[in-house]
Chains A and B, each alone.
Chain A
Amino acid sequence: MIAFWVLAPVMVLAALGVLFVRKAVHAALLLAVVMISLACLYAVLEAPFLFAVQIIVYTGAIMMLFLFVLMLVGVDSSDSVVETIRGHRVVATVLGVLFAAVLAVGLGQVTLGPAVGLEQANAGGNIEGVAAILFSRYVLVFEATAALLVTAALGAMVLAHRERLEPRATQADLAARRMADYAEKGTHLGPLPAPGVYARHNAVDTPALLPDGTAAPTSVSRVLTARGTVRSAPAMADDIDGVQRQMSGRPVDPARGETATSRDDVQGEMPGASVRRGEEDGGSGA
């Protein structure tokens, strides 16, 4: 009973989090919390077999699959806040609350006697008991699930398979296309510039500086640009005073302290960052 009252709030909070968190990855992690708590509840409810299966199948296989697809689809895929159907969100929330209320009323009228408990049923071991039922009365259903799993695996393979419509581009093709781009559009032939390397900061999220002092947009990966986590090199230069003061032992002026970097102000300067980068697959790399 203690386990229930500890786990129930955690589960409800995590489930609500799945609803309201904006990033899909966070939702997946919260769902994993719900599933692990459920596994613990199963253990308390005298179902050790289901406890193991829950952890292996749900938190192991299914959550992995979810995260895998999230990585493929793109980690930054989050819901847009714009409503396509007007009032859809409000109506959905009202419906959800109504549904919960109906369920609560319905459940409130049920009175359960004291729990019988599974000591008797689990006498010969829980797994043996489950197996005895599974392989006697439900053996046909069991076979049907086997067929279902095979079908599902096949279906996933068919769905995920993609026919190659054009021959694979070889390195010679890529080089030829690059030369053609140079001839027609004057695109730079060489590799992309490396990201900025400075005395204080040499991460890949800082663009390199061109000779005239502006940021080179192609030097940062387009993924970082899309996420809006590109640091501004000029803003970092503004920190120099603060750092010098720090090194000489004087207190830092809070107005322009260490972290006065505005991470987004490079965004405006790099509109073309996503154009060329895709074909290069990060030629310059990190």
Chain B
Amino acid sequence: MLSAILFAIGAAGVMIRRNAIVVFMCVELMLNASNLALVSFARQNGNLEGQVAAFFVMVVAAAEVVVGLAIIMTIFRTRRSASVDDASLLKY
């Protein structure tokens, strides 16, 4: 239940916020929420596979953060802004 709440908050955050870094943090929040669900279900069902899955999620999250932040840095360097709305060049 808590993980559902956190996930919903994270999803809302992705939609509401416009600073790319904060949007990224909300994505992390959603990943963490799913991790919590995995771990608690591992306990519920009495086997460790949920924990292993949560571990993999963490690994993927780390990789994703590294690449994502690098992209944000590049965007920021070319247009001096970390707002999601400014990266709309593909629209036209």
Contacts and interface: CB of A to CB of B under 8 A. Distances in A.
A281 B61 CA distance: 37
User: Chain A interface residue count: which class?
Assistant: 35 or more
A57 interface: yes
B52 A134 contact: yes
Interface in B54-78: 54-56, 58-67, 69-74, 76-77
Interface string B1-30: 110111111111101111101101110110
User: Chain B interface residue count: which class?
Assistant: 35 or more
A62 interface: yes
Contacts of B52: 130, 133-134, 138
A84 B4 CA distance: 30
Contact of A159 (B12, B46, B49, B71): B71
A20 B24 CA distance: 15
A122 B44 CA distance: 13
Given A18-B22, A19-B9, A47 B73 contact: no
Max chain A C-beta neighbours (<10 A), residue from B13, B54, B64, B66:
B66
Nearest to B21: A24
Contacts of B40: 45
A69 B46 contact: no
B73 A159 contact: yes
B4 A34 contact: no
Contact of A145 (B9, B32, B56, B65): B56
Contacts, number: 211
A180 interface: no
Contacts of A78: 19
Given A96-B9, A152-B67, A69 B73 contact: yes
Interface in A93-111: 93, 95-97, 99-100, 103-104, 107
A35 B62 CA distance: 14
B11 A160 contact: no
A118 interface: yes
Contacts of B51: 47, 49-50, 126, 130
B48 A129 contact: yes
A61 B65 CA distance: 10
Nearest to A35: B32
A149 B25 CA distance: 20
B7 A103 contact: yes
Contact of A19 (B16, B58, B66): B16
A70 B42 CA distance: 35
Nearest to A146: B59
Contacts of B4: 100, 103-104, 107
Contacts of B70: 155-156, 159-160
Nearest to A119: B46
A77 interface: yes
Nearest to B10: A15
A34 B1 contact: no
A252 B7 CA distance: 53
A41 interface: yes
A134 B73 contact: no
Interface stretch (A4-12, A166-174, A241-249): A4-12
A15 B29 contact: yes
Q: Which 9 A-B pairs have CB atoms at the shortest separation, nearest pair first?
A: A96-B12, A116-B46, A152-B63, A92-B15, A100-B8, A159-B70, A156-B70, A103-B4, A15-B9
